[in-house]
Amino acid sequence: MDHLTSLKVFCTVVEAKSFARAADILGLSPPAVSRAIAGLEERLGSRLFNRTTRQISLTDTAERFFADCSRLLDELQAMEERVSNRASEATGLLRLVAHTTVMTSRYTPLVASFRRAHPHVRLDVTLTERPVDLVGEGYDLAIVLPFMLSTDTAVTRLLETIPLVLVASPAYLAQRPAPRHPSELIDHEFVPMSASIRKPALTFRIGGEEVRVPLNHGVSSNSAVFNREMVLQGFGIGVLPTALVNRDIAAGRLVTLLDAYERVEAAIEIRIAYSTRALLPAKVRAFVEHAVRFCADEALQN
């Protein structure tokens, strides 16, 4: 393996935090990655990684070496793109991971619009509702809720903010009177998101003060789509995105509650995230710019 390739392997291992994940990203075997790192360490006369059975970390010497290598590889890529006139041409495979509900309820038209605008870019879309590691899992981009990013090393841009609304079904409210004040929520059942059950409460601003109301729940999930179904079935009150329940409200299948009271965390941010590498591939840059424009146009139309 040539020296330049060894440097690429080294940087990928650092970013992926794993020899095995780096091998998957690079399309190499794990032994080939290990040999590349061993050869680089022998060439440099210095150990690059502290290794345990479960994790790896950079040695003090390797920290500066990684920064220099990343800058060098970025500069080389920029030179190649300038020479081959590919800097502005979006091509190749783009791996996108996205929040399941967000993508299926909001952003499928975005993907279709991008594909029409950039026919030379192939898209592989993974849907999930768990935290993701962009580099470690080999993704180019993520469209996620903020809690889904497992590290703070990604760059994020806001796509839109979606209000959250308290809703219940008429069947549920036939069993328990609708709350007229936030304090009455303590007598109700909720269907919360799993991410919120560590602090199962709603906070309202009342009279200039924040009032926290604990939530009782019998069912929770990591899917807003599932929670909507449970709320429709009368299993409790949900705190759901307006984009998901507006039609239910208009049709009378769900009823909004406590609209007159201001809630803390009354909206969710949808963000697009990508690697912190200084030079973004043209396909990534093209998708980010397309997504930001698409969401801005949608906001103006609505």
For the residues 66-71, what does the mean pLDDT come to?
Answer: 85
**Please, which pLDDT band fits residue 22 given cuts at 50, 70 and 90?**
confident
Most confident of 64-68, 85-89, 186-190: 186-190
Residues 155 and 296 in one domain: yes
* Whether 278 and 147 share a structural domain: yes
Is the domain of 55 the same as that of 176?
A: no
Indicate if 61 and 123 belong to the same structural domain: no
Q: Same domain, yes or no, for 134 and 279?
A: yes
* Structural domain boundaries enclosing 25: 3-84
Question: What percent of the chain lies above the pLDDT cut of 70?
Answer: 90
Same domain assignment for residues 279 and 259? no
Residue 177 CA to residue 14 CA, distance in Å, equals 56
Q: Are residues 187 and 259 in the same domain?
A: yes
Q: What is the pLDDT of residue 278?
A: 56
Q: Are residues 245 and 285 in the same domain?
A: no
What's the pLDDT tens digit per position in 25-57?
A: 888 899 999 999 999 999 999 999 988 777 888
Count of Cβ atoms closer than 10 Å to residue 205 Cβ: 14
Same-domain pairing of 274 and 149: yes
Give the global pTM.
Answer: 0.65
- Paired residues of 93 in beta bridges: 122
The domain boundary residue, chosen from 84, 115, 131: 84
286, 121 Cβ separation under 8 angstroms: yes
The per-residue pLDDT for range 166-202, each reduced to its tens digit, is 999 999 999 999 999 999 999 999 998 876 555 678 8
Domain identity same for 67 and 28:
yes
User: How far separated are the first and last CA of the chain, in Å rounded?
Assistant: 55
Enter the tokens of residue 27: 């399309």
Q: For residue 103, what pLDDT is reported? A: 86
Q: Tell me, yes or no, whether 247 and 280 share the same domain.
A: no
